[in-house]
Amino acid sequence: MEPTTRDSACFEAGIKFGALYHQFAGTPVNPESAASLETAIEESIENQPFCESVEVEILTDKLADAIDHGYTELTGKFMEVEIVVEQEGTKVVTKMEMEDGYPMMKIESVTK
């Protein structure tokens, strides 16, 4: 069976989340550098094929609480992310949020 456009668009969204998380997890960050890191992440992932938009919010209040020596490392607990992929008229909206202490990446909607 051939993959559908829907299948491919969902796969593309997963690829983008994998790249985002594993490329940027561990990056040194503090509340003052959070905005520039958000922009860097968004612009980096938006370069990939079929990526319509990326919105990254680094949760600076949680970040500030975790800092004990000037910075901390970026992890999923400090980010909320939305990635929108559009491929051949199929739009996939995905999000990453913490769920039971783990950064869960999930499909919010698929529309044609």
Q: Which domains does the chain have, with CATH numbers?
A: 5-111 (3.30.1300.20)
pTM comes to 0.93
Cβ neighbour number for residue 108 with a 10 Å cutoff? 12
For 37-87, how does the pLDDT look when each residue is reduced to its tens digit (9 = 90+)? 999 999 999 999 999 999 999 999 999 999 988 999 999 999 999 999 999
Cβ atoms 20, 83 nearer than 8 A: yes
Torsion sign, CA atoms 71, 74, 77, 81: positive
For 2-17, how does the pLDDT look when each residue is reduced to its tens digit (9 = 90+)? 999 999 999 999 999 9
Structure tokens at 13: 């969204």
Query: For 76, which DSSP code?
Result: G
Structure tokens at 95: 């999000």
